[in-house]
Structure 1
């Protein structure tokens, strides 16, 4: 029972030294550049998209070094982190290079986790990871399956982080069915994370920094990619597939009933799926990076009602908000969104933990589950 009181961060990123070195060598995007900061000192900035606001993001040791990750965890009372390479992963590489680098980075990440400290009084490590697939256009399916096998065989890698573009046609491309099958059979969890957002023209000409692409573009990318997966029947063909969504599923919880209605009224897709669209939300796992208890409570309600839409089910009563909490997991998005002062605690930690603590209708056991117990169970820690 003590394990359920541990705090587990499931949404926390890094750039392994091998990956950061590659970005420093590049002249095309994405790349890490060095420039003179406002204090006259050299600073590194990460530029990953064309027309990136503010000339990219300032990055430092916390993006690369394990000791910085562990110091952040200690400062904020985080017992375990499941780390993942931050976007843009391997999307910009040719298939051969992507394949080779994926295998190297997965080995690097396994070592990063395996040689880190243990959680005091337990057999668990403080660090586990999501591995990488070389999921780029023209890659062979066998190359992807090799990476799945490698991740499955790595004791401290418990899942896969993946962007939304697949091998060029999106994640609903039926060419990926053997990959979904292998991931499902291995019991690995896919962490679906956005990168591209939506076209920059939607944001207008006014300089609003990173606010619109991050606050709106990222969640909408996740919403669209997951909806396409639902419509493709992936969850019918692979019912044990475990998909974990960043940023609490974007707008999908809010729009799920509208989605279900549009499906019912469209002759192209009305008979395609085995269940009402709202059923599939109950098969998802979502991070609890909502920053507010009202939002978390709403998402929990949407997840909890999913069983009502199981075709043929006689259970028409929602499982209640507690049931929805079982598929939500705490995250911080570290090392992005740092505070302005080094002495401050990160809002991404404080506000998300406060949100969990203040969801109306959750028991203390529910809150402990979201903070860590659910992750310990899902990732078999």
Structure 2
């Protein structure tokens, strides 16, 4: 008898028209175009494809965590072990995904550690990231880690990472112990990022305060909790005036920015409908939806229709490719962009790599 594992291993699931997710729910396979391969061509021109949302870990950081290493470095996702990069294997996967360059990041797991330990973890990771990128500068770039629970230390780490280690910005969570990024304590970090003209990649950490409601089938802590975390983080940065204070701040939001772009116009009505729910001392310089046009969003929203809507809301110039590799959310991130018929060739080329190349100051 063919087991489910045998069925998946043979690839029959992809070819046979139906697969089964781990929730036990049937999912009809979408008709797939021919997979894009390298080199990526758009309108007859070569485009360097850049994935801004892909992860890695280092065993050396795990050694500093002790017994917590496995829990914090290996989430319950197929392929999690691939986060510990074997370069030849990672390059082979990138080739199969039609990705020329990955911009690596490490999801923050050290915000609840004391300053000294967190600083050790961040220092080690940034050194390892710099070493990895230097070994294959045409294929890898990276976001620095930051000890955000100690903003003064984070400022130093960011400057060192950018000026001395060649890293391209920093990856941050969506809050620090529930303290929103709009809190003035983080202003020095945003000021330094603005000064260095490097982007900050916001990647959510779930919503532990909603753990009871998100329990049960469907991995809702990630499915719903992660996009919600990003939505809240971005909304605070908008409504508390942080983007007004730091107009040159470059932010990239994971997973298409959560739910914000899908329901953005509600934000423009909130303070008009319920002024008592808004602070009269905070006077934004423009409508809340206008701030979306200065935020960058990754394309990890799966379908051409979702990408069409995101572009309609924020503009093609604000969208960049994201896959979440090695976690298998989107194993062919270029394909949905090429399949979005509402995009021009120039817009497709921008999303696939030209916008990211400008953000990270690399060759396009």
TM-score, length basis structure 2? 0.80
Question: What pairs with 1:1-381 in structure 2 (closer than 5 Å)?
Answer: 5-23=47-65, 25-26=66-67, 30-32=68-70, 56-57=76-77, 61-67=81-87, 68-85=89-106, 87-116=107-136, 118=137, 125-136=138-149, 139=150, 141-166=151-176, 169-197=179-207, 199-204=210-215, 206-208=216-218, 210=219, 212-265=220-273, 266-267=275-276, 268-269=278-279, 272-303=283-314, 324-337=315-328, 348-350=330-332, 352-381=333-362
Distance change in 2, residues 1:16/1:288 (3 Å) = same
C-alpha distance in 2 between matches for 1:158 and 1:145: 14
Spell out, residue by residue over 1:290-323, the C-alpha distance to the aligned partner (whole angstroms, 9 max, x if none): 11011111111111xxxxxxxxxxxxxxxxxxxx
Deviations 1:192-245 (A, max 9, x none): 0001235122235x433x2x2222111011001110111111110110000000
Tell me, in whole angstroms, the C-alpha distance in 2 between the residues paired with 1:236 and 1:359. 33
The alpha-carbon deviation at position 167 of structure 1 amounts to: 6.6
C-alpha distance 46-16 of structure 1, shift in aligned 2 (>3 A): closer
1:20–1:64 Cα contact (<8 Å) kept: no
Any conservation in 1 of the 2:61–2:124 contact (CA below 8 Å)? no
Q: 1 CA distance for matches of 2:58 and 2:121?
A: 11
Whether the aligned pair in 2 keeps the contact of 1:288 and 1:329 (CA below 8 Å) is: yes
Residue 175 to residue 377, structure 1, CA distance change in 2 (3 Å): same
Q: Do the aligned partners of 1:66 and 1:112 also contact (CA within 8 Å) in 2? A: no
Secondary structure of the equivalent of 1:201?
A: coil
1:191·1:245 contact (CA, 8 Å) conserved in 2? yes
Q: 1:59 to 1:159 in 2, by over 3 A?
A: same
What is the Cα deviation at residue 360 of structure 1? 3.0
Alignment coverage as a number of residue pairs: 315
Task: Tell me which residue corresponds to 1:309.
Answer: none
Distance 2:69 2:163 in 1: 31
Q: Distance in 2 between matches of 1:162 and 1:256?
A: 23
Aligned to 2:24: none
